[in-house]
């Protein structure tokens, strides 16, 4: 494997920083920086989370996927009022904008808040306030994908969808399911209702639950994009189907190693997926929890052997797979092409 430790002045690193990017798979709550976690823990005197930076760092060493989800849910106890959701969202938006992200679709763990007795309106009011501010301040567009934990059962999904349909703002683009992977079959009717209401079907599938979860997501949930989906490489016929239909996959390489879905980064299937003609984008998932950010995921892709043109393809795929409007997509693709052409000019000269 090629070293992904690029010097900040290397041409490839400059290419990565200059590429216009979209982020399609980042969990709002999982994007909470330790500084924000500590601030909110202090504000609400939350006893269940670490109260020092070192403590947080240690806390973010995950034994396995269920342990990661446990820590994720616990960290959320720091989010209580509208201002907390606004603070978190503003911080996440600023971090994205600093990485040349102009459009992002963020998963919101809505059920995890509902189950703690936080009304959906508090969540939506907070994140919407910050979304509008961030658009004004940084020119970044944020869109939402509320989700529920599949392993908590279909009723939790029903409650989540009901809250979205009742209180959700127009910036909600889709509906999702995540957490520990269980069969997607029980959620068929639920996702049919979400789609009928104009929401995109955006489930997690095949992160670590096997290729059959992806097939279920396609057949039963009519998934329009797959969260993770890396397990497709275990079933060649499924890879053929994904290529033929062009259903995009949101790939999050560092996350997969941190949660144990992939043992070593050098074993990550991203290069194979891209070269097999799948519409894959790279994403950061829960960046501070995994010690990464979106730019770093592009560096990791470079470390896995992706050439400059392939890094640009990953960025273009993100744009194609997004729900940004068509003029917005065209102008981002043109900018990506221009940045790549400039890189090639430098490289040649």
Ligand X SMILES: O=c1[nH]cnc2c1ncn2[C@@H]1O[C@H](CO)[C@@H](O)[C@H]1O
Q: Which residues in this chain contact ligand X in the complex, by CB under 6 A?
A: 27, 30, 69, 72-73, 107, 109, 112, 147, 149, 178-179, 204, 207, 255, 285-286
CB of 179 to ligand X, least distance (A): 4
Q: For the chain, what is the largest distance between any 2 Cα atoms, rounded to a whole number of angstroms?
A: 61
CB of 72 to ligand X, least distance (A): 5
Nearer residue to ligand X within complex by CB, 80 or 329? 80
143: left (phi over 0), alpha (psi -120 to 50) or beta: beta
Nearer residue to ligand X within complex by CB, 227 or 248? 227
CB of 112 to ligand X, least distance (A): 5
* Token duo for residue 59: 């806390």
Which member of 23, 82, 207, 216 is catalytic? 207
207 is catalytic: yes
CB of 106 to ligand X, least distance (A): 10
Q: Which residue, 300, 334, 348, 314, is CA-closest to 13? A: 300
Q: Which helix (H) or strand (E) holds 24?
A: strand 21-27
**209, 182 contact by CB (below 8 A):** yes
Nearer residue to ligand X within complex by CB, 116 or 330? 116
The strands making up 226-228's β-sheet, listed across from edge to edge, are 204-205, 226-228, 249-251, 280-282
Nearer residue to ligand X within complex by CB, 27 or 268? 27
CB of 43 to ligand X, least distance (A): 23
Q: Which helix (H) or strand (E) holds 251?
A: strand 249-251
For residue 237, give every residue at least 6 positions away whose Cβ sits within 8 Å of its Cβ, in sequence order, or none.
Answer: none
Instruction: Tell me which residue has tokens 């994007």.
Output: 31
Closest chain position to ligand X (CB): 178
Cα–chain-centroid distance for residue 17?
19
Nearer residue to ligand X within complex by CB, 201 or 255? 255
For the annotated catalytic residues, the residue numbers are 207
């Amino acid at each position: 494997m090629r070293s992904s430790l690029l010097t900040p002045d290397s041409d490839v690193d400059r290419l990565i920083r200059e590429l216009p990017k979209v982020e399609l798979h980042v969990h709002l709550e999982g994007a909470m920086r330790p500084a924000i976690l500590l601030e909110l823990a202090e504000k609400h005197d939350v006893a269940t989370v670490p109260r020092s930076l070192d403590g947080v760092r240690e806390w973010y060493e995950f034994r396995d996927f269920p342990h990661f989800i446990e820590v994720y849910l616990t960290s959320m106890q720091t989010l209580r009022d509208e201002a907390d959701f606004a603070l978190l969202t503003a911080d996440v938006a600023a971090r994205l904008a600093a990485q040349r992200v102009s459009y992002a679709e963020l998963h919101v763990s809505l059920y995890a808040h509902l189950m703690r007795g936080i009304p959906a309106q508090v969540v939506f009011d907070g994140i919407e306030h910050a979304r509008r501010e961030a658009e004004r301040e940084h020119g970044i567009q944020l869109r939402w994908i509320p989700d529920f934990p599949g392993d908590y059962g279909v009723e939790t999904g029903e409650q989540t969808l009901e809250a979205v349909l009742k209180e959700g703002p127009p910036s909600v683009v889709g509906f999702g399911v995540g957490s520990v992977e269980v069969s997607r079959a029980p959620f068929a009717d639920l996702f049919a209702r979400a789609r009928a209401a104009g929401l995109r079907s955006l489930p997690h599938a095949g992160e670590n639950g096997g290729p059959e979860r992806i097939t279920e997501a396609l057949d039963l949930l009519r998934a329009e994009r797959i969260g993770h989906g890396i397990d497709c490489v275990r079933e060649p016929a499924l890879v053929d189907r994904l290529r033929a239909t062009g259903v995009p996959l949101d790939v999050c390489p560092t996350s997969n190693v941190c949660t144990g879905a992939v043992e070593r980064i050098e074993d990550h299937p991203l290069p194979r997926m891209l070269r097999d003609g799948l519409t894959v984008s790279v994403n950061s998932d829960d960046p501070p929890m995994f010690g990464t950010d979106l730019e770093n995921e592009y560096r990791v892709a470079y470390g896995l052997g992706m050439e400059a043109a392939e890094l640009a393809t990953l960025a273009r795929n993100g744009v194609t797979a997004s729900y940004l409007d068509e003029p917005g997509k065209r102008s981002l693709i043109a900018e990506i092409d221009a940045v790549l052409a400039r890189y090639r000019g430098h490289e040649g000269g």
